[in-house]
């Protein structure tokens, strides 16, 4: 597994576990935009949507 894929998976797990980009970013010591980018890249490589997100809520998809 490529290093970037592994770190993107860690980012996804943090987001899914905390239920928040803000809390996950604080936990990992990165910016919210870095997490958003990592998730977008991971979803692109996998060809799957992992999170359903709106401005007010977030949930994992069946694949996520």
**3-60 classified as CATH 3.20.20.370:** no
pLDDT at position 55? 73
Kindly report, residue by residue over 6-33, the tens digit of the pLDDT. 889 899 999 999 988 899 999 999 999 9
pLDDT at position 17? 92
Exposed / middle / buried, residue 37 (Cβ in 10 Å: 0-12, 13-18, 19+) = middle
Identify whether the C-beta of residue 39 lies closer than 8 Å to the C-beta of residue 24: no
Distances (CA, A) of 34 to 22, 51, 62: 11, 16, 24
Locate the domains of the chain by residue range: 3-60
Q: Would the pLDDT of 1 be above 70?
A: no
What is the model's pTM?
Answer: 0.81
């Amino acid at each position: 597994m490529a290093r970037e894929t592994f770190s993107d998976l860690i980012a996804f797990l943090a987001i899914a576990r905390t239920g928040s980009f803000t809390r996950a970013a604080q936990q990992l010591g990165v910016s919210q935009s870095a997490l958003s980018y990592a998730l977008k890249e991971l979803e692109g490589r996998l060809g799957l949507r992992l999170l359903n997100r709106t401005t007010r809520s977030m949930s994992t998809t069946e694949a996520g």
